[in-house]
Amino acid sequence: MRIVLLSGGSGKRLWPMSNDSRSKQFLKVLKPEAPDALPDSTLQSPVSMLQRVWGQLAQVGLQSNSYVCASRPQQDIILSQLGEVPVIAEPARRDTFPAIALACTYLRQRVGATPDEAVAVLPVDHYVDDEYFVRIAGLEQVLQEADVDLALLGVEPTEVTSKFGYIRVDPAKRHTARAPWWPVVGFEEKPSLKRAAQLMAEGALWNCGVFCFRLGYLEQVLAAKGYPTDYAELVRNFAQLPKRSFDYEVVEQTTSVAVSPYHGMWEDLGTWGALSGKMDDTLVGLGETVSCENTHVVNELGIPVVTMGLQDIMVVATPDGILVADKESAAGLKDIIARYDTRPMCEERLWGSYRVLDYQKLEDGTEVLTKWIELYPGHHLSYQKHAWRSEVWTIVSGEGEMAVDGRLVKVAAGDVMRVYAEQWHAIRAQTPIKLVEVQRGSVLTEEDITRRYMTWAEIEQHCTVCVRQ
């Protein structure tokens, strides 16, 4: 069976730490529980939801056939946190139905999976125990025993809530209270509290977004709806696919469905109140908490944050903003910060990371942006140039080499390098490099990049030719 992890969404309920490139599943605030399955560079505490789930897949023997499906801007951070894992890149964010369709055509035509192979699709941002993945591994057997097109995983409700969708089952057809599967008779999305209580009394389960089916079945669904079944064609026409959930487009239109009940731990850590309960420490970053109760502080700034005498408070300080909120009130954060939809001020990339230290607009309209950049040893930036800005790089620590207009130059701590507009340049770290980059120009955007070479071998070959000339 193949496993597809859906890594989508921007997680804006966890602002200011989450943004369009660093969604909630990438936030390193959780207690590590399965570190042996992660690359050496990620063994430190704390870990992200993505890292935790990837480690759990290894614990139950599912990791080797697992793939991560995510939007292209997330690809670097996934590889940075997990190492060289298979990533299915979505051309754009278009909800779960287009993502699952893309992943399945990829498995069929790029991986060589057969139509009879089962695939289980699950979100990457849920906090669960290992038994959850054991039950997922058993969904292929549910497909066979129940002779259905779709097998779902349903969570046994622990409270009356309208936050989740419900999977309705026929109580008369339950085999036993702990049966491996039950027939599904319908779905209800986020009902009222009164209706939720009634559904629970009838034995309904929470819909946790786990789907299992054979690849040939989804191909039939795509063909019947007139959507491409060829991977390359689907990529080209991805923007034309309906921006709808897999539940709406497929599951609720299917009559042949069974659900496997799951009775273990399952939490949706979509708010600071929920996430803080799973954090490794009450303080992450520089600062101190004094006489505080149930108060958590996450500080990504280079200045200390001190909290005193607070109760049930969440404090988060990042280059993207500062949040100070009662944990219960923080659940409504998404609507409030909608007006602050600006570009990310910090990002984790495959080669390292950066965060914005300062931005100024001078009286003559010139923009000045200062970044702190860290490069992993053996990694490099692409050979690139900018049309609208110049850059000054001050090497704070580390050693490496820089390519500038066909010349290779050794760089080390204390060196200052200037790159003019339209000048080709790249840098490679031999040891971990930390540098300060000051951008100056009429327009400063991340899109002002023209890339020529992506590998260092290509850059070295180009520079060697130019030097000889």
Please indicate whether residue 37 or residue 217 has the higher confidence score (pLDDT): 217
Provide mean pLDDT across the span 127-155.
93
Q: Strand runs (DSSP E) across 148-263, as ranges?
A: 150-155, 166-169, 182-188, 205-214, 257-262
The amino acid sitting at 73 is P
Q: What is the pLDDT of residue 381?
A: 95
Give pLDDT, residue 72. Answer: 84
Is the pLDDT at 269 greater than 90? The verdict is no
pLDDT > 70? residue 369: yes
CATH class of 2-268: alpha beta
Q: Is the confidence at residue 326, as pLDDT, over 70?
A: yes
Q: What's the mean pLDDT when you consider all of the chain?
A: 89
Global pTM reads: 0.81
Give the chain's count of helices (H) and strands (E). Answer: 12, 28
More confident residue, 368 or 13: 368
Q: How confident is the model at residue 467 (pLDDT cuts 50, 70, 90)?
A: low
Fold held by 351-468: Jelly Rolls (2.60.120)
- The predicted pLDDT at position 42 comes to 46
Q: Is 188 exposed, middle or buried (0-12, 13-18, 19+ CB in 10 A)?
A: middle
Q: Answer yes or no: is pLDDT of 468 > 50.
A: no
Residue 444 — φ and ψ, nearest 5°?
A: -120, 105
Per-residue pLDDT for 158 more than 80? Answer: yes
Indicate whether 11 pLDDT > 80.
Answer: no
Q: What is the average pLDDT across 405-410?
A: 92
The single residue listed with the structure tokens 């010349």 is 407
How wide is the angle at C-alpha 125 spanned by C-alphas 272 and 129, nearest 5°?
100
Handedness of CA 48, 49, 51, 52 (dihedral sign): positive
Query: In sequence order, what are the beta bridge partners of 152?
Result: 211, 259
Strands 433-441 and 389-397: antiparallel
Residue type, 295: T
Distance, CA of 469 to CA of 297 (rounded, Å)? 57
Tokens of 169: 């089952």
Helix (H, G, I), strand (E, B) or coil at 247: helix
Q: What is the SS3 assignment for 317-368?
A: EECCEEEEEECCHHHHHHHHHHHHCCCCCEEECCCEEEEEEEEEECCCCCEE
Which pLDDT value is given to residue 194?
93
Other residues' Cβ atoms within 10 Å of the Cβ of residue 387: 12
Q: Are 279 and 267 in contact (CB under 8 A)?
A: no
Of 100-104, 194-198, 298-302, 341-345, the range with the lowest mean pLDDT is 341-345
| Token duo for residue 5 | 């992890």
Q: What is the dihedral of CA 252, 254, 256, 259, to 10 degrees?
A: -30
| 30 pLDDT tier (thresholds 50, 70, 90) | confident
Strands (E), 117-265: 118-123, 126-128, 150-155, 166-169, 182-188, 205-214, 257-262
Residue 469 has pLDDT above 80, yes or no: no
pLDDT at 374 over 70: yes
Tell me the percentage of the chain whose pLDDT exceeds 90: 65
What confidence tier does 271 reach under pLDDT thresholds 50, 70, 90? Answer: confident
Long-range contacts of 359-366 (CB under 8 A, 24+ apart): 365/442, 366/440, 366/441, 366/442
> Which segments within 194-277 are labelled E, that is strand?
205-214, 257-262, 266-268
pLDDT tens column, 329-367: 887 787 787 777 667 788 888 899 998 888 899 999 999
List the structure tokens of 80: 């940075």
Interacting residues of 42 by C-beta distance below 8 A, sequence separation 6+: 35, 51, 81, 82, 83
Cα separations (Å) of 124 from 35, 192, 286, 364? 17, 27, 29, 47
Q: Could you tell me the residue ranges of all domains in the chain?
A: 2-268, 282-338, 351-468
Q: How far apart are CA 205 and CA 260, in angstroms?
A: 10
Residue 466 has pLDDT above 80, yes or no: no
pLDDT score at 35: 45
Which residue has tokens 């509290």?
A: 193
pLDDT band at 97 (very low <50, low <70, confident <90, very high): very high
Residue 44: band (very low, low, confident or very high) from pLDDT cuts 50, 70, 90: low
Angle of helix 215-225 relative to helix 96-106, nearest 10 degrees? 120
Place of tokens 């996450």: 298
Q: Could you tell me where the DSSP H helices lie in 39-164?
A: 49-59, 75-82, 96-106, 130-137, 139-146
CA distance 213 to 152: 9
